[in-house]
Structure 1
């Protein structure tokens, strides 16, 4: 758990940077994936007429960055990593569905893998916090109060 805060902060920064890339250089993101897609023999993602998609993409990166930052600021709270895990797993499920049903774009596959890993890490952190909380409960600490605020 000693890496929890640094990883949470790094996650907040990475989500924010990715969001800024999608906000200010959206075509570059798609071109990057399309270059790799072509090399892999996969269909290329259309670069035009995806403006409304940006609203959701930027919103997603903002929420995920905020949750990761809240994890950094409140390392004893299980709610933030659990919310981040749910968001990541939801995006993973949607990514695999779109990959299978819509078109096998590389950006869908990358989203599936990246969000699956992020969701698994966040869920793991939440479960470790739960285990720490339960250990505190056995020793008489209050389970709903952050460990840092409990009296010894």
Structure 2
């Protein structure tokens, strides 16, 4: 459980709850042109709900830039760092750069903004143009 006032709920982020067990994953579904993913919003700015700086370059980013973080399996040890991926949803498509990893094996600590571990099929997107892809 996070210390009082320490979990950032921006973008409807979940906060860890005391005595609750969260699933963890060691891999992600195989990638293809049609891989299904769960798209959420994430803030990449300092103080945002994304936690620390981006794994790929150690920097925070403007939330208006089309960037994403992906599950560990898709992040692939950083091989997708600073590379563009295509994202389709809600009848639209955009290209965004991978800047971070969303770890499905760790969470509920200060490094992860006291949020639970990520699912193994998640892409967290900056607000920018990517918000239009979400079904709200």
Q: Same fold (TM over 0.5)?
A: no
Q: Please state which structure has a larger fraction of its residues in helix.
A: 1
**Bigger CA radius of gyration:** 1
Q: Please state which structure has a larger fraction of its residues in strand.
A: 2
TM-score, with structure 1 as normaliser: 0.22
